[in-house]
């Protein structure tokens, strides 16, 4: 593998799967050592050691850097980006970001990146925006439309995130959702007013129980069916 890759997008499950697939592909093509760095925490010495230091046994390396662009502004971040942009590296890199990057952000990274973007289907946002008590038939219809193009895992992730956002929307402004723009906050606040706080907490608890049952292997039904049950309670 000679070309460095940049994987990003709001469809975090799909982008994460793509990251695993690219790492597996690199291994099949001769990569022997995979070095993973947290873009939010690494310093210049970490990066230099990863890309410039030869492996003790001469193994061919791949460096994976996650969430560098979302890191808070700092001199260290500027140093890292400047190095990556201006240095001709022989070590292949894979960048992974949990969110969609802008074109201006991409300009701060090495040239000739193979960029892979994973967007969330508009059907999911239609489903999420329809969430409100008494809207069961519409919510269920939109949910099953989502499943035509998305996995239950992706719908579950987005539903859990939206319910968390609705809970945060009812908090004081200073402790509200830091990731939402002003117009998004207005929409979330408006949607949250359709629920009582107790109802939102109950839905959140149901989703937490589903997540726990999946992780512990105690779920009797497949995830898609479990979400049907959750939607029935909205």
Residue 47: predicted pLDDT: 96
Residue 1: predicted pLDDT: 43
Helix 182-192, helix 152-169: angle, nearest 10: 90
Domain extent listing, the chain: 5-117, 122-233
Residue 158: predicted pLDDT: 94
Encoded tokens for 67: 């969430």
Instruction: Tell me the pLDDT of the chain (234 aa) as tens digits.
Output: 457 999 999 899 999 999 999 999 999 999 989 999 999 999 999 999 999 887 666 678 999 999 999 999 999 999 999 999 998 888 999 999 999 999 899 988 888 899 999 999 999 999 999 999 999 999 999 999 999 989 999 999 999 999 999 998 876 554 545 555 677 788 898 999 999 889 999 999 999 999 998 888 877 789 999 999 999 888
The string over 195-224, giving b where at least 16 C-beta atoms fall within 10 Å of a residue's C-beta and e elsewhere, is beeeebeebeebbeebbeeeeeeebeeebe
Residue 141: predicted pLDDT: 96
Beta bridge partners of 75: none
Long-range contacts of the stretch 68-73 (C-beta < 8 A, 24+): 68/39, 68/40, 68/42, 68/95, 68/97, 69/39, 69/97, 69/101, 69/105, 69/108, 70/39, 70/40, 70/97, 70/98, 70/99, 71/39, 71/40, 72/40
> 122-233 has which CATH code?
1.20.272.10
pTM, 2 dp: 0.77
3-state secondary structure of 194: coil
Rg of the chain in Å (alpha carbons):
21
**Residues 6+ away with beta carbon under 8 Å from 132:** 191, 194, 195, 234
Q: What are the phi and psi torsion angles at 186 (to 5°)?
A: -65, -40
- Please state which architecture CATH assigns to domain 5-117: 3-Layer(aba) Sandwich (3.40)
Encoded tokens for 93: 């890199």
Residue 114 DSSP symbol: E
Q: What are the phi and psi torsion angles at 84 (to 5°)?
A: -65, -35
């Amino acid at each position: 593998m000679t070309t460095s890759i940049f994987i990003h997008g709001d469809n975090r499950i799909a982008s994460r799967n793509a990251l695993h697939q690219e790492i597996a592909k690199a291994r099949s093509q001769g990569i022997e050592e995979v070095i993973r760095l947290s873009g939010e925490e690494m310093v210049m010495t970490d990066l230099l050691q990863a890309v410039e230091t030869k492996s003790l046994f001469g193994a061919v390396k791949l460096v994976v850097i996650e969430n560098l662009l979302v890191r808070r502004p700092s001199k260290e971040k500027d140093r890292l980006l400047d190095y990556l942009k201006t240095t001709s590296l022989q070590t292949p890199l894979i960048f992974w970001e949990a969110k969609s990057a802008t074109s201006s952000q991409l300009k701060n990274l090495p040239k000739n990146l193979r960029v892979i973007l994973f967007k969330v289907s508009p059907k999911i946002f239609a489903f999420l925006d329809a969430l409100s008590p008494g809207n069961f038939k519409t919510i269920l219809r939109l949910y099953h439309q989502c499943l035509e193009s998305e996995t239950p895992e992706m719908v579950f992730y987005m539903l859990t995130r939206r319910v968390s956002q609705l809970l945060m929307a009812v908090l004081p402004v200073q402790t509200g959702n830091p990731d939402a723009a002003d117009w998004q906050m207005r929409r979330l606040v408006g949607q949250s007013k359709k629920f009582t706080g107790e109802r939102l907490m109950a839905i959140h608890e149901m989703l937490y129980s589903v997540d726990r049952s999946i992780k512990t292997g105690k779920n009797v039904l497949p995830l898609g069916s479990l979400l049907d049950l959750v939607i029935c309670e909205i």
